[in-house]
Structure 1
């Protein structure tokens, strides 16, 4: 197959999961088959420095998503892209519209990562996204649960949806652990006999750090423990106030975004995910890869798939601080043999999401879609 250009469009290469996934795909894409092009809005992102130097990186001259349609269309046309790949509903919408006004035969491949919907108005909005998604050549869902949601709420055809799990850069994680170092100002957190729990994610409602703090307060009455929270977000101040009210403020550490979270994972005794919803639960797979035991809520639909309903990590009910505290205590008090077995099983599970293997699945989807692209050209 002749090498074809795949244009990857994302808002910015920020510190979120979508950008991390995009980075893993684009860096691992087979250069003998595809030429990747990365396009973002005019923002600087934390992950930009990790984009491989052979990748053409274009920033549109706008910071407004709605203003990106025509500039993106121009790039699609000028670069003669065969595939336009995008992720997240708002960005997918812009990518589909840009392809349409580019007046080219490029094919849209959109990725849906979220498990959205529930109330009437949101479901109607998702049906509108679904109408646009039908204009794409392929939809990629990052879990089986997300695919079911796309079919049921977006009203798209199941035949047009492929399930491809998130790629996890196992080699990169291990390299960061072996070469990384916990920041000097955080060394004291890990330097005594306390059991250290860690979590990572944006400080927003859906991550439900509120329940995590309540659970930690209960655990702290039974164990000498600390809680490390990686991430930034709008709820940081209210969560700090909650920690004060629970009398645990001196044992909870808000350390913001860390470029190398994996060294922190490795030094922690336990990773806890308290989310209400997760399309996949990328950070769970990363924690398993780092050799850190996991306690997670049954956040729909991803966590149950990543942990196979508790086979590779301990699971608790969403929003239930009592259950979460019990599962955390249970895991932190495992004996050495039980702990080793859990860590080994977790690492084996993480290998199922190895970036190189997952990216092969993306390549197959791109190649199949490009087959349609070539047929369109032949017809033209």
Structure 2
């Protein structure tokens, strides 16, 4: 049987959830049936090293999406591509246009990864993306909440959307979580204090301001340390807030970590304080390291990943007191109760196992063709 050539197109293989998802799909595709090709703009991405050796990797000689249309179209023609898979609205739009200008029979599969919109300007933009999405052969939503947002704000027909959760490479995470040579800040974890950890870009969406205020309340009752993995524009602002809250000596900004899982494993609690998410990949990854999770109940991922609070406590967005209460509830559990939480969380993580989720993607690719 002829292998199906699939181009995976993304801005860059950076440090975000979209890149991790593509990485997991690409690496776990059945090589007897599919031949993956990764195409990015001319940026270096932190996940490039994790690609399997047999993946054809093409970097376009531009850093601007608008200039990549005809370059991608040429690749679609020359590589005899059957499917173009893309994620993130602007990238999806370029991928659809590139397929059109390739003048081939290739099919577009576009993936929507977040609950976008809210302001009038954003909602108008989403209507524009929705018009483009109607030209795709299949739309994939990474959660039911994102699917509802696609219907409500993009005005995309519900019947054209398939929900497929993010694949979590549980086996690889288990290996990396035990890779102690990557644990560069071990000395900070060598304490009797409780260790609270979070991971994500330091940007408004992640609302680390609320997390810091909640952590300050937690620290008053239970001596703790907060570890933030990630980089971003709010670094100085968050540092200043930590000083104002008199917890600067308790808060550690550790930057981006190539292997966050060994850090998760050594923590007592993982916390997510986001204002919105699509799926919240990092929550599922934390569960895979057997680290308890507390999250905001933002639209739309956390509630689905944690099954409405069955596998981790949820609090309203921006509610520092409730977030602090939930953090204390977990941190003050006895060892037996904690072990039960960890085991249940790991069981939930396997629900999103990459081997299972990637098979769902493969079926979508077959159906599209």
TM-score (norm 1): 0.96
User: Is this contact kept in 2: 1:82–1:106, CA < 8 A?
Assistant: yes
What are the equivalent positions in structure 2 for 1:27-106 lying under 5 Å apart? 27-106=27-106
User: Is this contact kept in 2: 1:181–1:263, CA < 8 A?
Assistant: no
What is the rounded CA distance, in whole Å, between the counterparts of 2:158 and 2:316 in structure 1? 29
User: Is this contact kept in 2: 1:203–1:236, CA < 8 A?
Assistant: yes
SS at 1:212 equivalent = helix
Matched residue, 2:216: 217
Matched residue, 1:285: 284
What is the rounded CA distance, in whole Å, between the counterparts of 2:182 and 2:356 in structure 1? 30
SS at 2:30 equivalent = coil
Unaligned runs of 5+ in 1: 371-380
Matched residue, 1:378: none
What is the rounded CA distance, in whole Å, between the counterparts of 2:326 and 2:182 in structure 1? 27
What is the rounded CA distance, in whole Å, between the counterparts of 1:249 and 1:102 in structure 2? 55
Deviation at 1:262, TM superposition (A): 0.3
SS at 2:131 equivalent = helix
Deviation at 1:357, TM superposition (A): 0.6
Matched residue, 1:348: 347
Deviation at 1:11, TM superposition (A): 0.8
Matched residue, 1:323: 322
Displacement over 3 Å in runs of 4+: 180-184
Deviation at 1:230, TM superposition (A): 0.2
Deviation at 1:44, TM superposition (A): 1.1
User: Is this contact kept in 1: 2:140–2:161, CA < 8 A?
Assistant: yes
Matched, 1:158 2:173: no
User: Is this contact kept in 1: 2:5–2:83, CA < 8 A?
Assistant: yes
What is the rounded CA distance, in whole Å, between the counterparts of 1:56 and 1:24 in structure 2? 15
Matched residue, 1:197: 196
User: Is this contact kept in 2: 1:298–1:315, CA < 8 A?
Assistant: yes
Superimposed CA distance per residue, residues 93-135 of structure 1 (whole angstroms, 9 cap, x where no aligned partner): 1100101111111000000001011222211111110000000
Aligned residue pairs, count: 369
SS at 2:72 equivalent = helix
SS at 2:181 equivalent = coil
User: Is this contact kept in 1: 2:284–2:349, CA < 8 A?
Assistant: yes
Deviation at 1:209, TM superposition (A): 0.1
Deviation at 1:182, TM superposition (A): 4.9
Matched residue, 1:263: 262
Matched residue, 1:239: 238
Superimposed CA distance per residue, residues 202-226 of structure 1 (whole angstroms, 9 cap, x where no aligned partner): 0000100000000011111111100
Matched residue, 1:126: 126
User: Is this contact kept in 1: 2:183–2:263, CA < 8 A?
Assistant: no
Deviation at 1:181, TM superposition (A): 3.3
SS at 2:294 equivalent = strand
What is the rounded CA distance, in whole Å, between the counterparts of 2:169 and 2:33 in structure 1? 21
Unaligned runs of 5+ in 2: none
User: Is this contact kept in 1: 2:183–2:262, CA < 8 A?
Assistant: no
- Pick closer, same or farther for the CA change 1:319–1:260 going to 2, 3 Å: same
What is the rounded CA distance, in whole Å, between the counterparts of 2:65 and 2:279 in structure 1? 25
**RMSD of aligned Cα (Å):** 0.9
What is the rounded CA distance, in whole Å, between the counterparts of 2:179 and 2:340 in structure 1? 26
Deviation at 1:341, TM superposition (A): 0.9
What is the rounded CA distance, in whole Å, between the counterparts of 2:289 and 2:181 in structure 1? 14
